[in-house]
Structure 1
Amino acid sequence: MTNTAPEPKSFPMPLWLQGIMEALAAAFIGAAIIVVPLAIMWITGAFANMPLGDAGAIGAYIWLSSFGVPLELVSLDTQEVVGTWWFIPLGLVVVWLLLARRVGARLARASQLRTLWQPTLGAIAAFTFFVWGTNTLVSLDVVSINATLAVTIPAVVFVLGYAWGALGYFRIPLAEYTAKRVDQLSDAARNFWHYLWALIRAATLALAGAWAIASIVLSVQIGIHWAEVTDVYQRLDAGIFGGLVITVLQILVLPNVAAWTLSYLTGAGFRIGTVEVSPAGTLPGAQPALPIFSAIPTEQTLQHHWWVLLLLLVAGIVAGWWFFGTGENHLEDFVVAKIPNQPTAITLGVLLTGASIGITAGILCLGIMFVSGGSWAIGVLSTIGAPPLASAGLFAAQIGIGAAIGYALAPLRHGAFRWSKSAKD
């Protein structure tokens, strides 16, 4: 007989409670990313004699606006709305999506597919309650906010990131289930869905390639104007912590600037308040004192810089080349089957393929351009970013032309390979 004490029994945490805890942790981490730097700035006297409650309200409104919640700025004298702040730092939105993705992946790992609804409801309810409480507890006389939008928009962003993580964890059983469902369809329906999926991937590839080209152009431009960028840093004289905050802010806005550079390469250009920038030239005006804006080109002319309009064709060529390799162009198969003249049918198929990829890529670009711009509602800075319709339309045309070229050239690779192999034999 021994005196060994019995081991304590452990009770697993209910799935709905795990969802609540994970969602609240993500919400607190996200809020801390905004509030902690502002708190340090308040302690160091950056907000002069502003009460701590007002400084906290500013942090809460910045957190809400980073999700895309519009803030109406109200005049204290007339109590009228003088402007609407609506701007989404894409780098910060990526952080919110990654936090929500982590929640979805962790809860999916802790549950089964048939019980995933329990932590999902708990997580969404907890995050929504946190956003509602934040909007309810803070207030500023100079800011008016729609309570419904303040709760709905952050919740939608959280749900998107959560679905990304949860469905990604169960991607294998979901893919098998989807494949079984597709196999039960008719041949025409199955070909349509295969073609649509390949088309979306080709358009995504074109957009990613164009984004990479725009990022390279932006990096080169910043490198060329690095002296001007450092000069603005010195003129701001924000100190070590202030300089760090400005640098982090620019990093978070950098994806937006890359999207504006993409619009610049389409020929549509972009604007920052009264400053209008395009390959045809730059219309100068007042602009924010962010160092990165010192890299804006000022001496370009369309006569000497027309070649920038050809850079995005490379992304279209890659997308068309890749699309040929998938072997899922059932639209071309349909055209060839209906038109007896083979050269005419192939030419029409190539043109329709380029147009389809271009239009799909243009739709994706339209969404990017819409969320990358907005309004800073400060004086002349009422319009920030690229014109969505113009830039998306020109982007679709350039990608479509490039995709048609790439799709037409893709068979040469296979033909050359077969010719060299037969010659060797």
Structure 2
Amino acid sequence: MSTLVDRPAGAPQPPRTTPADLLPLLTASVRAVLTLLVPIAVLTLVAWLGAVRSTSSLAAVVRVGADGGLLGHGAPVAVIGGTLAVAPLGVTLLALASAVRAVRTWVRDQAAAERGVPFWPGTAVFAGGYGVLALLVALVTRSGVAAAGPLHALLGGLAVGAAGFALGARSHRPALPERVPAVVAAALRPAAACVAALLALGALTVAVALVHGRDDVFLLHRSLDPGWLGGTLLALAQSLLLPSLAVWAVAWLAGPGFAVGTATSVAPGGTVLATLPAVPVLGALPPQGPTPTATWLVVVLPVLVGAGAAALRRPRAGEPTGLRHRLAVAGLTGVLAGAAVALLAAVVSGPLGSGRMSELGPDPLLTGLAVAGEVAAGGVLALLLLRTWVARRGTRVPADLPAGLDAPAGGLLGRSRRPGRGTAGPGGGAGGAEPPGAGS
């Protein structure tokens, strides 16, 4: 009632978001799925046309492209003689980019119509539509040769759709509920920064390995004799694997390493390999045998990432600034970062057929635990060293403070000033004491 009384007479009432405004999100989900699958299908069709000896039908070629897209959503594909479960994260990133673009188009349409963007209902509608479409693709493309897991396709579609909506409508994302503990809310952003920094280090490690082992990579490529068209398509297919290899490199930097087949290991302590599949990018793997002891220094990098996240984090408004709270945030940052890396490791590991290739990628549990411990240790160590440095250095007050201003009550980590450490006050007394007779 008060709203009706307070509103000026004749003022237009802003339009409200109705369920009909959410229906275009279903169309957006269809557009996002097609934007991903159509280019993949075209590339597989080009490869089929360029393969002179291929006896596959056009329908089989389309199914191969669809299975590749579903594999990027984390859905394992059962084939004759084994299962393919190593997700090419390049396809996942393309799917995420397609979803973000579709959501942004809907957000612009809502803004043009002066309507709101309901975040959680929009997330449910878009992710639900995307997940159902992924499920339908998995069911339609099943055959006796290859079949993607329907449940995994649904869950992967829901995850990609939800992440795409969250990124596409991030400016309309509501604040965290008040019931979320302060330590959890404070650790979310530094944990995301730690994961991004670790992935960047992993990508840099892959780039260095490719440059260092370029001779072996080119040798494997030439041995396949793919021709110019096949070579181009092979290079494109391997580029979709590079983000997955970056996660493998994170596992290597953290210490546990990864496997490239059963009874194999690629870790800072050494490399144990057997016969590798004919994939040229695998020529960048370290050579067989033990590595120099100094290679273990790479484990310091995740520790430095955690230290940097803890030292550079700025507390939010109203957040406790005590050392105990900051230590708890640093520890939880490591736990969250480790959980995220473990999830990525689970997506990019698994079987790639049968036999020796039934074990590929890093161990999710060991990798997550290693990253969690190293990031948390780095953050805790950085805070303790910073606390010790401030305690020894003391709180220094600038001598050129404007008149009437004094130093802050606490130091960098909340250390209070001790009496007698301040500069002279206006009347020359210690600690800024007011001289006698100043008020007269």
Report the TM range for the smaller structure's normalisation: 0.7 to 0.9
1:321-374 Cα offsets, whole Å, 9 max, x none, are 0236668774846x5xxxxxxxxxxxxx77655433322322222212112222
CA distance in 1, matches of 2:340, 2:150: 29
1:43 aligns with 2:64: no
1:405 aligns with 2:381: yes
1:196 aligns with 2:202: no
1:270 to 243, 258, 267: 258
1:152-183 Cα offsets, whole Å, 9 max, x none, are 432442233124323x1424xx34xx5xx64x
Who is 2:232 aligned against? Answer: 244
CA distance in 2, matches of 1:417, 1:95: 52
1:213 aligns with 2:216: no
- The one-letter code matched in structure 1 to 2:77 is L
2:283 to 284, 289, 294: 294
Who is 1:257 aligned against? Answer: 245
- The one-letter code matched in structure 1 to 2:278 is A
User: Which SS does the other structure have where 2:265 is aligned?
Assistant: strand
Q: How do 1:371-386 residues align onto structure 2 when only pairs under 5 Å count?
A: 371-386=347-362
Report the CA distance between 1:285 and its aligned residue.
0.6
Who is 1:228 aligned against? Answer: 216
Return the index of the structure with the highest Cα Rg. 2
CA distance in 2, matches of 1:392, 1:118: 32
User: Which SS does the other structure have where 2:259 is aligned?
Assistant: strand
2:300 to 304, 310, 325: 310
- The one-letter code matched in structure 2 to 1:273 is G
CA distance in 1, matches of 2:327, 2:69: 46
User: Which SS does the other structure have where 2:293 is aligned?
Assistant: coil
1:141 to 115, 125, 144: 144
Q: CA separation of 1:147/1:362 partners in 2, compared to 1, >3 Å: closer, same or farther?
A: closer
TM-score (norm 2): 0.75
- The one-letter code matched in structure 1 to 2:191 is A
CA distance in 2, matches of 1:230, 1:59: 26
Deviates more, 1:122-131 or 1:93-102: 122-131
- The one-letter code matched in structure 2 to 1:84 is T
CA distance in 2, matches of 1:30, 1:246: 19
Q: CA separation of 1:351/1:101 partners in 2, compared to 1, >3 Å: closer, same or farther?
A: closer
User: Which SS does the other structure have where 2:291 is aligned?
Assistant: coil
Q: CA separation of 1:313/1:48 partners in 2, compared to 1, >3 Å: closer, same or farther?
A: same
Report the CA distance between 1:389 and its aligned residue.
1.1
CA distance in 2, matches of 1:306, 1:114: 49
Who is 1:343 aligned against? Answer: none
CA distance in 2, matches of 1:250, 1:90: 11
Who is 2:417 aligned against? Answer: none
- The one-letter code matched in structure 2 to 1:161 is G
CA contact 1:83–1:377 (8 Å) conserved in 2: yes
Q: CA separation of 1:255/1:46 partners in 2, compared to 1, >3 Å: closer, same or farther?
A: farther
Who is 1:284 aligned against? Answer: 273
TM-score (norm 1): 0.77
CA contact 1:267–1:394 (8 Å) conserved in 2: yes
1:103 aligns with 2:93: no
Q: How many residue pairs align between the two structures? A: 376
Who is 2:371 aligned against? Answer: 395
Who is 2:34 aligned against? Answer: 28
> Relative contact order (alpha carbons < 8 A, sep ≥ 6): 1 or 2 greater?
1
- The one-letter code matched in structure 1 to 2:144 is D
Deviates more, 1:252-261 or 1:142-151: 142-151
1:322 to 300, 309, 312: 312
Q: How do 1:351-390 residues align onto structure 2 when only pairs under 5 Å count?
A: 352=328, 354-390=330-366
Q: CA separation of 1:123/1:269 partners in 2, compared to 1, >3 Å: closer, same or farther?
A: closer
1:158 to 155, 158, 161: 161
Report the CA distance between 1:264 and its aligned residue.
0.9
CA distance in 2, matches of 1:416, 1:237: 66
1:394-413 Cα offsets, whole Å, 9 max, x none, are 21221122112222344548
Who is 1:3 aligned against? Answer: none
CA distance in 1, matches of 2:105, 2:41: 26
Report the CA distance between 1:25 and its aligned residue.
2.2
Q: CA separation of 1:138/1:215 partners in 2, compared to 1, >3 Å: closer, same or farther?
A: closer
Report the CA distance between 1:37 and its aligned residue.
0.8
CA contact 1:195–1:328 (8 Å) conserved in 2: no
CA distance in 2, matches of 1:114, 1:324: 30
Report the CA distance between 1:89 and its aligned residue.
1.2
Deviates more, 1:204-213 or 1:383-392: 204-213
User: Which SS does the other structure have where 1:288 is aligned?
Assistant: coil
User: Which SS does the other structure have where 1:380 is aligned?
Assistant: helix
User: Which SS does the other structure have where 1:84 is aligned?
Assistant: strand
CA contact 2:186–2:315 (8 Å) conserved in 1: no
CA distance in 2, matches of 1:39, 1:57: 11
CA contact 1:16–1:120 (8 Å) conserved in 2: no
Gaps of 5+ in 2: 1-19, 402-422, 424-440
1:90-143 Cα offsets, whole Å, 9 max, x none, are 121111111111222222232333778998777567645644543444342122
CA distance in 1, matches of 2:213, 2:386: 39
CA contact 1:374–1:384 (8 Å) conserved in 2: yes
Aligned alpha-carbon RMSD (Å): 3.3
Percent identity of paired positions between Structure 1 and Structure 2: 22
Gaps of 5+ in 1: 1-13, 75-81, 183-188, 336-348
CA contact 1:87–1:372 (8 Å) conserved in 2: yes
Report the CA distance between 1:225 and its aligned residue.
1.4
CA contact 1:73–1:142 (8 Å) conserved in 2: yes
